[in-house]
Chains A and B, each alone.
Chain A
Amino acid sequence: GAGVSQSPRYKVTKRGQDVALRCDPISGHVSLYWYRQALGQGPEFLTYFNYEAQQDKSGLPNDRFSAERPEGSISTLTIQRTEQRDSAMYRCASSLLSGGRNTGELFFGEGSRLTVL
């Protein structure tokens, strides 16, 4: 597609339910990032992939959070047993490699707003 596509745009769920957030990056973009943004704050890094390999998951808050990108394109961020504190905007971004290295020139999607009741 022309840009990074995220779905659903809005998700309301009850505490304890599992949710899956999807990200479809720009075609040909090797790198894919997940960030979380609380209201009034800047985005906070969660995890990223180069191709299908998860390179860094140090930002995932706990083991209820997981991400995958099995074919090196679409990625899913899964939150199990959601809690109210998980409510936030979840942003996906993709990018090219520059000289074989990751760059901070990221193309962000519009985000998925998660509300946990």
Chain B
Amino acid sequence: SQELEQSPQSLIVQEGKNLTINCTSSKTLYGLYWYKQKYGEGLIFLMMLQKGGEEKSHEKITAKLDEKKQQSSLHITASQPSHAGIYLCGGPTGNQGGKLIFGQGTELSVKP
């Protein structure tokens, strides 16, 4: 069965610093979704990547999917306290787009 492994599991950075979170799949991904979760709230969709080599950006967050579609990275530039939370990557199983396998999450803390 497919598994998604995220690294690091947790991260503490100083405000203003850049950081990268990685997501590695045991099998080729049909797509890759990044979500953010804050304590007491639901998951919030960030970005979707579908093609090998694809890169998308939203504000200061950039996500990439490698050519082989087995690894994705999420990069945050000039981190802010508002970026704190748990970042989760999810990959669809087969052709059922909403049936996602999630990684275990990366908890990000940003120190002011």
Stretch at the interface among B14-22, B38-46, B56-64, B68-76: B38-46
Q: Residue A41 at the B interface, CB < 8 A? A: yes
Whether B99 is near chain A, meaning CB under 8 Å from some CB there, is yes
A103 interface residue per 8 A CB criterion? yes
CA distance A61 to B34 in the complex (A): 26
**A:54-87 near B, CB below 8 Å:** 55-56, 59
Give chain B interface residues in 65-112, CB to chain A under 8 Å: 88, 90, 92-93, 95-105
A residues in contact with B99, CB < 8 Å = 33, 45, 48, 56, 59, 102
A111 within 8 A of B: yes
Contact A31 B98 (CB under 8 A): yes
Contacts of A48 in B (CB 8 A): 96, 98-99
Residues of B within 8 A of A98 (CB): 97
Contact partner of A104 among B4, B44, B100, B103, CB < 8 A?
B100
Give complex CA distance A109, B102 in Å: 17
Min CB gap A91→B, angstroms: 7
Contact partner, A110, options B42, B45, B96, Cβ 8 Å: B42
**B42 and A104 contact, CB distance less than 8 A:** no
Verify if A114 is at the interface (C-beta below 8 Å from B): no
Question: How close is A34's CB to chain B, nearest CB, in angstroms?
Answer: 11
Bound-state CA distance A82–B40 (Å) is: 24
Q: How far is the CA of A91 from the CA of B35 in the complex (A)?
A: 14
Question: Is there an interface contact between B40 and A110, defined as CB atoms closer than 8 Å?
Answer: yes
B43 pairs with A108, CB closer than 8 A: yes
Task: Identify the A interface with B (CB < 8 A).
Answer: 3-4, 31, 33, 40-45, 48, 55-56, 59, 91, 93, 95, 98, 101-111
Chain B residues packing against A (C-beta within 8 Å): 4, 31, 33, 35, 40-45, 48, 88, 90, 92-93, 95-105
